[in-house]
A and B are shown apart, each in its own frame.
Chain A
């Protein structure tokens, strides 16, 4: 059974460029979460969706960040323009939203480096 799939695994780009991170949640899950992990702040939630609808985006740091979920099997996190301080590991997670007996399942992350 496939888990949460993120792409790319690694991304290195120059500041000012647009970056798009992709996530395919586990089939049947209807909640999707985007997290960012840094040394300073640890794992922090950026945004989450229920049934493809953004529920809480209060963690999105700036307007340069945007996320979409056009259907139940795909989500993107976009940074435009990117800055060196955006360098981090970005995780996507999915879950069944009605029960905590079904915890969030994480992808293996995208390591983003902005030069």
Chain B
């Protein structure tokens, strides 16, 4: 059973508008949540993260919101740019023994930002 779910395989947004990518999880023990961006023929690159004790983290045009009671997080991109077109992966991790644990990834959402 998938612990991290991205239910929208694709999203299309007009340039300049807001992109909202959603992610749901089932394991309440996750300590951190991360978003990665992936261009074709490249590896995923880290975008932004949020601790489970916070509800918002902002970095420039990117903001991640966490709703622990709903086990839901979202990534907002404002304003969206054509260069943001990529596949976005949500990931979650438990920390144990002080070490970085396994990243559990969703299946990704393909964002297309149209000029």
Question: Which of A's residues lie within 8 Å of B, judged by CB?
Answer: 4, 31, 33, 42-45, 48, 50, 55-56, 59, 91, 93, 95, 97-100, 103-109
Contacts and interface: CB of A to CB of B under 8 A. Distances in A.
Which of A42, A56, A97, A98 has most chain B Cβ within 10 Å? A42
B105 A95 contact: no
Given A56-B102, A100-B100, A105 B107 contact: no
Which 9 pairs show the lowest CB-CB distances between chains A and B?
A: A106-B43, A42-B107, A103-B46, A43-B105, A97-B100, A106-B44, A108-B43, A100-B32, A45-B102
B34 A103 contact: yes
Interface stretch (B63-71, B78-86, B91-99): B91-99
Tell me the interface secondary structure of chain A in the complex: strand
Given A56-B102, A97-B99, A103-B34, A42 B43 contact: no
Interface residues of B, number: 23
Contacts of A97: 99-100
A100 B95 contact: yes
Contact of B105 (A31, A42, A56, A108): A42
Given A100-B49, A106-B43, A107-B43, A42 B108 contact: yes
Interface of B: 32, 34, 36, 41-46, 49, 89, 93, 95, 98-100, 102-108
